[in-house]
Structure formats: C-alpha cells, structure tokens
Amino acid sequence: MQVPRTVRVGLIDDSMLIRTVLKDKLEQDGKIKVVALGKSLDDAKRIAQKGGFDILILDVVLPDGKGTELAKELGKAKEFPIILMSSLDKRELRDALELVLEHPLIEFVAKAPQAGQGFDSVVRDIRTKALAFMAFRALARKSFQKEARQARSMQREATKPTIASLTNKIVIIGSSTGGPKAIFTILSQLRPPFPPIIIIQHMPVGFTQSFAERLNQKLPIRIKEARDEETIRSNTVYIAPSGYHLLIRKNSSGGFGKYIFKLDDSPPRNFVRPSVDVTLESAAPLFRQGLLAVILTGMGKDGQKGCKKVKEFGGKVIAEDRSTAIIYGMPKAVADAGLADCVVPLHEMIETINLLLAQPYPESEN
C-alpha cells in the first residue's frame, strides 16, 4: 500500500492523556501527523470547519455532546473519512454501528480504557484504517460518484435460487475496512430461501454481537452471532465473533443438522482473528462445489489462501470490483492470484450470488 504523503489527522478526545499518548504513537514513523487536537464537540466542529486534515479521529462521547451526531452530519458530505473511537457501552456501540452501516467512509475502533496495557493494539487499528483510507481515498470518492447512477441497478430482481438448488451449499463472506456498509447493502437485498451465510468481518473484540443485533433489527432476515457447537441452519446469517477463528465441522453428535461451528482461539492469521482464510479452509473440504466465497473491501490479503483452497475443492469465488471497494486490498489479492470466478461491483453482488446459487452443483461427497 502506497501512501503518497504524510496523512494529516484531526484528533478529538476529552482525555488529555489519551490525546497525548495517541498523538505520540501515531506520529512515531512519520507517516501520520496530528495537525489538530480537541477535547470537546465544539472543538471538533471548529476543526472540521477549518479543515486542513485528511482524516478525523473522533471520540463517540464528549463532555458537551455526542461525537456520533457530528459524524452523522459530516458523513453526509463525504468530504473526509472519520474514525470513531467507541467503548463497549451498548448505547455507544448502537450509535457508532448505525453510522458505519450508513456511511462507507466512517469506521470505528475499540477505545482503550486507559493509555496503558492494550493501548498499542488500538493505535495499530487506528493507523491501519487511517493509512488505508488515505491510500484508497480517490477510489472511495469515485465509488460515491457512481452510487446515484447505479441506484436502479441495485433494485433489479435477481434470479432466485430454489430450495432444491440450495442443498449442500453455503456462502462465506469476508471483509474488513469498509465492510459493514457493504455487508448491509448485500443483506438488505437478501430474501429466503438462502443457504447458511457466514460473515467474517474484522472487528474489535466485543463489537460483533452488537453488529449482529443491529443488522437483525434493521433487516427482515435472521442474523446472529455464531456460537460454539451451534448447528448451522439455512435462511440464517451468522457473524463470526471477534477474538476467535470460526471453524466449520461435521456434526458428530448425531443431532439435527449436518454441520456445526467450532470457535478456536489459536493465534491470529494475517494479524487478525477471526481470519477469513481459517474459515474457508475448514469449509472447503466439507462443501466442495457447494461453497461460494465472497471477498469484499478490506486491507491486506486475508482470504487469498482460503480462496485457493475453495478452488481446489471445486467451489466458486466472487471478488468485489475496484470501482466500489473502499479499500481494494483483500479482493485485489484474490483477483490478482487468478482465484476469482467473478469480479463484480457491489451493486451487482447479490444478483451474482443468486445466479451462482441457482446453479445445480453436485452434492457433497462427505
């Protein structure tokens, strides 16, 4: 990833200690420069109006109001990316998730309780998102310009798979930065019948349950966080819980349902847990031709090795096109490796998924 110049950041947090430590750590290698500091909502408004920065880092809760209210207002203008810092408070999470689902250039990170142990991981998360947003900002703006022209395309009636065509099939979607909005776009067009859909979205620990709950509240389909030993069922969307790899295994208990989830706390792959690679590699030999992998926006290469395994067992792979991927990293790695059967923009994703699911794949041999 090439960042053409120093990324200029505006930083708003009511804790002087957090501001000081975060500024020092972000500026360590010279790629990021904090050019504006503030401690209140009024400061944030003043800094936003003045400009002169590329990305705004904004605490969700400030002494004189909610950072989410300002982020919502600024997000409509799509002038610059915003990284929200949120605790695990349910109300904070709900407000932050609402914005992330609506605005592709708004992301969030888990706010460290103090500038001590665990703070370095928060800094790494902020740095990753900030540098990624900057490197691909031109593409992000291009995709926004296309949204209005493509609105009708998103409403097209796609070919619907039948219950019979869904036997022994599963869809696994992987995404990272920019993913929540993309996932919401796809799921908002999804209607039964559909096979189990597993979503691996890179998120801070503690955020995925609220993400699943918010999606379930907003959409007319069943969406939930996956649980250990849970039976995998059709017409359900499962969100992989943050902090664990999500494996798919045969159900050896003899109970209802052929497959179950297993949560695994082995070391991160590609610096993340859950890893898309891990889930795809566990599912490929079980579902074979019935596995459909979808790789959406995100930084890095998570999903590339997993998609190679999918192809080895006869499954299909879809990668998001550069024109709509906020961060063209994960889908690019898959496409460049020649692993994608289809490379399509986000507004054509659900139609492509349905077309592939409608094809009569041979039944699994396992």
Residue listed under structure tokens 């664990």: 244
| Rounded distance between C-alpha atoms, residue 290 and residue 284, angstroms | 9
- Which of 59, 125, 302, 321 is the catalytic position? 302
Q: Is 176 a catalytic residue?
A: yes
CB burial string 304-315: b at 16+ within 10 A, e below: bbbbbbbbebeb
Residue 305: partners with Cβ closer than 8 Å, 6 or more residues away = 277, 281
Residue 277: partners with Cβ closer than 8 Å, 6 or more residues away = 269, 270, 302, 303, 304, 305, 306
Please, are residues 239 and 224 in contact by the beta-carbon 8 Å criterion? Answer: yes
- DSSP calls for 32-47: EEEEEEESSHHHHHHH
Please, are residues 260 and 279 in contact by the beta-carbon 8 Å criterion? Answer: no
| Rounded distance between C-alpha atoms, residue 36 and residue 9, angstroms | 7
Quote the tokens at residue 186.
Answer: 């796809």
CA 159 distance to own-chain centroid: 26
DSSP three-state, residue 23: helix
| Rounded distance between C-alpha atoms, residue 280 and residue 113, angstroms | 34
3-state helix, strand, coil in the chain (%, to 5): 40, 20, 40
Quote the tokens at residue 179.
Answer: 């993913």
- Which of 54, 103, 202, 347 is the catalytic position? 202
Q: Is 341 a catalytic residue?
A: no
| Rounded distance between C-alpha atoms, residue 293 and residue 139, angstroms | 24
- Which of 175, 176, 210, 282 is the catalytic position? 176
Q: Is 202 a catalytic residue?
A: yes
Residue 314 falls in which region: left (phi positive, over 0), alpha (psi -120 to 50) or beta: left
Alpha helices in 197-317 (DSSP H): 208-218, 276-287, 304-312
Catalytic residues: 176, 202, 302
